[in-house]
Amino acid sequence: MTQTRFSRMRMSITAAAVAVATGAAVLSAVTTAPASAAPAAGTSLAGKTVFLDPGHQGSAAGHNLSQQVVDGRGGKKDCQTTGATAVNGTPEHTINWEVAQLVKAGLESQGARVVLSRPDDTGWGGCVDERAAAASRSGAAIAVSLHADSTTTGTDATKKGFHMIVPTLPIPDATVNAVQSGEGRKASTVMRDAFVRAGFPTANYAGVVDGIQTRPDIAAVNLTKVPAVFIEMGNLSNPADAAALTGKDGQLKYSMAITEGIVNYAKGAAAASTTPSPQNLGAAPAPEATPQAGDGELSAVLPFVQKLLGTSDPAEIGQLLLTDGQDASAQVLNAMLVVLYGLFDGKLPIG
């Protein structure tokens, strides 16, 4: 078995876990699938394009971060920044990239076309205005920028939680203003509610109100002509937030929340709260129930998923399916088995 094929297997397993755990699809059990069956694929996002912008870049070599670019408000700002660093030493750009890859896998498993703002986590990713232009050109149903905040270069255990950044209105560009004041706000609210449902706390700092912060200086939103959501997933200065954002199980949980938010918005799900005022989206309501894995079910599945993703030995995979797999969520396990079944050409790697 080649490394390329095992990489495909790991990503496909993750896609199945993300898609099923967010309630996006229910896949058939492998025990009922014919020998020639291919992995099942969802269609809830068929025909939809999603633009994902994992913030910052792996390297700025050969580029001037302080080059001045338009900010969408008639002024200028730096082309890009290096991003934050978690208290455990992990750079923000890597966290953003890894979560984006999980979200991409989940979205593609549901039929979406996913466009990324940068091709990897080793090179350059473009200035903020270039990324906004790419999002607009993509014609995406929604553009999502993934970031993680930092309140200090040291440790800050008191400030925690996620927030969505929305633009101060009005935005000078009439087209952008119409999009971001309407669908952009709706998309941000839907995403906020998905994070709340997943159990993530809203930020308790920087003037955030119920998971929403209003700012005039985010070019990624000020310049984008498709509905844009700008997520600060957590505070990398907070040890607990940093651990969740850098751990594989935490990243999987974040990706599930983001995938759910995108799916709900793209499918036309109404925001759970009432229409917000231009400057304040208001209090977060008690979100409506959405079929998804609860924290208990997720906790049971994650160790099994991580073990599968951590091995390249077919015999070990087979043993895991026969042992740890027996305790995993039946729905998620069945989905992953279908994926494995297809990747191994109709035979599970057992024996």
Active site residues: 232
User: Taking phi first (over 0 means left), then psi (-120 to 50 degrees means alpha), and beta for anything else, what does residue 283 get?
Assistant: beta
Spatial separation of the C-alpha atoms in residues 276 and 185, rounded to whole Å: 8
Structure tokens at 148: 């993680």
